[in-house]
Amino acid sequence: MRHHIVIIAVLFMLSGCQEQGKNIIAKEIVSDLEGISQKYVGEEPTTPEATETYEPIPPKIFLNDNYVPSDAIVLFDGSGLEEWVYVSDSSAAQWHVMEDGSMMVKDKSGDIRTKRNFGSMQLHIEWKSPAEVINEGQSRANSGIFIQQRYEIQIMDNNDNATYTNGQVGSVYKQAVPLAMASAPSGEWNTFDIIFEAPEFNGEKLVKPAYVTILHNGVLIQNHFEIEGSVKHVGWPIYEAHGKAPIQLQDHGDNSRVSYRNIWVREL
């Protein structure tokens, strides 16, 4: 009800549109928003210096020759699969490590996961589907990134290959249609930059859902999407309480030949 009163008041005052009136409106709106209500109250500052801050100082990040930030955990740089094991039995991952610094799904050998567990993070990963196109629909170069082994960001070749849109490349599988289809041509490299906010639980109870934002080749394709629970191929998504967990890469089992390279994470 209070929101309604404020909105009506704002509309009424906007009709006057005096400079003085605008300031009053701005304060009224801000003070009605939860969370930031206490930040901008009191006397309005009258100098630019009064609203300048000098702490905290952001840490300085350096980039290496491959544009990997100095505070990142490198999960794959072409040298080997030391950071990865099979999901099935935790044995050393045996996907193909290629001479060009990439790795490729070893068909029907199984999904692999990181040895490390992650919570909220910025994940950079590059991938490509093979230039030689085989199969149709969901069977064409299907892989995927299961964040925390539960929340799949779909990877597949959708170039001239339509499928259900909440299962196409860049979808949160069966939950969120991507905002755009930004894939490079088959056989060329793509980048995914994923900002993931991990869900929070109090015992078994969900107190904060997960959120994901994704840039595909620099194009925003998921914008702070509220994840609805663990991805399900059949059935509804549902949250189950969990802590930090690995990143999992999918072997879809139909000769996907999807390749990955330059994988790193910054923990948030």
Contacting residues toward Mg ion, per CB under 5 A: 142, 144, 250
Q: How far is the CB of 138 from Mg ion (least distance, A)?
A: 8
Q: Which is nearer to Mg ion, 68 or 231 (CB)?
A: 231
Backbone angles phi, psi at 118, to 5 degrees: -130, 150
Q: How far is the CB of 189 from Mg ion (least distance, A)?
A: 18
3-state secondary structure of 20: helix
H-assigned helices in the chain: 2-14, 19-31
Per-residue tokens: 202: 């109090």
Q: How far is the CB of 120 from Mg ion (least distance, A)?
A: 23
Q: Which is nearer to Mg ion, 21 or 253 (CB)?
A: 253
Q: Which is nearer to Mg ion, 152 or 228 (CB)?
A: 152
Do residues 87 and 224 touch, judged by C-beta distance below 8 A?
no
Calpha distance 80→101 (Å, rounded): 9
Do residues 263 and 81 touch, judged by C-beta distance below 8 A?
no
Nearest to 11 by CA among 29, 38, 33, 36: 29
**Amino acid, res. 143:** S
Calpha distance 148→39 (Å, rounded): 35
Q: Which is nearer to Mg ion, 94 or 139 (CB)?
A: 139
Residue whose structure tokens are 């100098």: 47
Nearest to 129 by CA among 180, 169, 171: 169
**Amino acid, res. 163:** T
Q: How far is the CB of 173 from Mg ion (least distance, A)?
A: 7
Cis omega before residue 56 (within 30°)? yes
Q: How far is the CB of 170 from Mg ion (least distance, A)?
A: 11
**Which residue number is nearest to Mg ion in terms of Cβ?**
144
Q: Which is nearer to Mg ion, 56 or 235 (CB)?
A: 235
Per-residue tokens: 234: 């059949």
Q: Which is nearer to Mg ion, 93 or 155 (CB)?
A: 155
Q: How far is the CB of 82 from Mg ion (least distance, A)?
A: 25
Calpha distance 190→184 (Å, rounded): 6
Q: Which is nearer to Mg ion, 163 or 250 (CB)?
A: 250
Q: Which is nearer to Mg ion, 144 or 170 (CB)?
A: 144
Q: How far is the CB of 119 from Mg ion (least distance, A)?
A: 23
Backbone angles phi, psi at 57, to 5 degrees: -95, 125
Q: How far is the CB of 226 from Mg ion (least distance, A)?
A: 21
